[in-house]
Chain A
Amino acid sequence: MTGQWHPDATALAEYRAGLTGGRRARRLAAHVASCADCTSVNDQLAAVTTVLASAPEPTMPDAVESRIMAALATEAALVTEASPVTEAAHSTAAKRGTALSPVGGDGGGSRRRPGGRSGRSGPGNRWLRPAVLASAAAACLVLFGGVYGITHLSSGSSSSSAASSAAAGSESSALADGQAPGTHTRLEPADSAPAGIFTVTASGTNYLPATLAPQVRAQLARPARTAALPATPSAQLSACVLHLTGHMRPSLVDRAMYQGKPAYVIAVTNWAWVVGTGCTASNPELIASVGL
């Protein structure tokens, strides 16, 4: 240690960042070179960057990816849950989607978000919860460590509060602030949704990874799908499908084969999923997905 003056950590950090020049920079350099304490601080500043850079990069949880893809699919189509999807609507919706006025600032806005929670009632705001809770758990465990993950899940109300504001606009603050502890709902949304809102086809197609998208498009292009199974799918299948599509009516649910193995192929306007035949809302058994 030399002298009585020592730069603080911020001054050293700014110097390291090249923000200090002239005599002050020379003075700092000379001081650090001769002061053990400041050399240590300087080393620690270097370590801060090293620590941050060495943190493993997180991977997006599947549930979050599915949720956003569903939201984008809905955004593209702007379909209502009651109307069937046609190629014309498909195209028109896409054009309308890009022609809509911008939202808020750069960061988004409070418009209806079909794949997210646009309101407090109806199924559209509930399907996310298992996905969000699952992704929260996964992200917590992966990124924040096990302790936080367990704490976060067990704290219920905060998870619910956060989940119920996902994709919401400015109304989310009030919702979050006003959420009473213990009022959360978990892991049952799609299972309670009405079944039988779509038809299951059995095309017999053997879908393959390399040709999945064109095969699905071909199925979607068929004017009337025959060989339909009984019109009412099981509650389990309905829950699975609605979970994946974000409660959009699917354009296709095909009981078929994927690489020679039984599977369901589920599609909305611009996205398709391949899932196992045991697909449920909580365990979709996702095998593959592809943009159309």
Chain B
Amino acid sequence: MGPEVPEPSDAELLRRHVAGDTAAFGLLFQRHKDRLWAVALRTTCDPDDAADALQEAMISAFRRAKDFRGDSAVTTWLHRIVVNASLDRLRRRPARSVSWSGDPDALESMLAQDTRGGPSRAVPSPRAGAGLLPGAPAGDPSDSVETRLDVAAALRLLPEQQRAALVLVDMLGYPVAEVAVILAVSEGTVKSRCARGRARLLPFLAHLRGESGNQAAADTVSPEGGGG
């Protein structure tokens, strides 16, 4: 644990694991656990499902490590397995999936039907969202809690594929090219899913935005290029 000892790379840990080092994979998991947890949690929108999916994913990765060819980064490979496990878990529970047409009037009644969490966790609050937008004051910690609540609720309104893309690109900041590998789709598809997801969330966030609109800079007319 000495600070001067160089940390083995992810690829090296995976190689050691395949070679029979029983601690290597655990170290790899430890190294990336929070990121992988964020992916699972935000993709499934449920801590229990996230824990299940992540455990399944790690067991799968553990067993399949010998099949890793190094065509991508180890983290990309791990993320792909976690995303797929998360989406697989969601597919096993279609009754819990939530899809929103984009009609704000339908939002509250739809969420009220979600017996799992009840309406109180997800009904958006204009006050809560006001502090989210560019130029708005940071707000106090209670606002922050509500902010997180609203972002989580918003994510639940997206189709799974759009949500996975937005989580990886917008929330976790991965490049579109890497997300394309993770999701096994083209970069154009990633961009399209992100764009549609943002558009779908817009009424929700516009509702949160309340009266504080028109603060964002008007220089965002030009396309983002490769940013997704």
Contacts and interface: CB of A to CB of B under 8 A. Distances in A.
Contacts of A167: 52, 55-56, 59
A93 to B, nearest CB: 8
Nearest to B129: A51
Contact of A91 (B20, B122, B228): B20
Contact of B17 (A98, A138, A142): A98
Contacts of A65: 30, 33
Contacts of B84: 105-108
Contacts of A59: 34, 37
Contact of B149 (A25, A72, A144): A144
Interface string B174-201: 0000000000000010011011101101
Contacts of A41: 202
A113 B59 CA distance: 8
Contacts, number: 323
Main secondary structure of the interface of B (DSSP, over half): helix
Contact of B121 (A53, A67, A144): A144
Contact of A132 (B48, B145, B196, B227): B48
A16 B195 contact: yes
Interface string A109-141: 101010110000000000000001001101110
Given A60-B33, A75-B59, A104-B60, 15 more contacts: A13-B194, A13-B195, A17-B195, A40-B213, A44-B206, A61-B47, A72-B29, A100-B63, A102-B64, A139-B47, A143-B47, A143-B148, A166-B51, A176-B93, A210-B1
Contacts of B202: 9, 13, 41, 44-45, 48
B166 to A, nearest CB: 6
A73 interface: yes
A227 interface: no
A45 B55 CA distance: 35
Contacts of B227: 17-18
A146 B206 CA distance: 23
B199 A46 contact: no
Which of B188, B198, B220 counts the most A-chain CB atoms under 10 A from its CB? Answer: B198
10 contacts: A14-B196, A18-B227, A44-B206, A53-B171, A56-B148, A57-B172, A107-B85, A108-B85, A148-B149, A210-B2
B59 A72 contact: yes
A184 interface: no
Interface of A: 8-10, 12-20, 25, 29, 32-33, 39-61, 64-65, 67-69, 71-73, 75-77, 90-91, 93-95, 97-109, 111, 113, 115-116, 132, 135-136, 138-140, 142-148, 151-152, 155, 158-159, 162-163, 165-168, 170, 172-173, 176-177, 209-210, 213, 269-271, 291-292
A117 B227 CA distance: 41
Nearest to A112: B59
Contact of A47 (B122, B194, B209): B209
Given A14-B195, A16-B195, A44-B216, A136 B48 contact: yes
A57 B85 contact: no
A90 B87 CA distance: 33
Contacts of A72: 25-26, 29, 58-59, 62
A31 B116 CA distance: 44
Contacts of B132: 47, 50-51, 54
B149 A145 contact: yes
A148 B201 CA distance: 20
A12 B59 contact: no
A102 B34 contact: no
Contacts of B215: 43
Contacts of A105: 84, 88
A111 B59 contact: yes
B49 A162 contact: yes
B170 A53 contact: yes
A108 B57 contact: yes
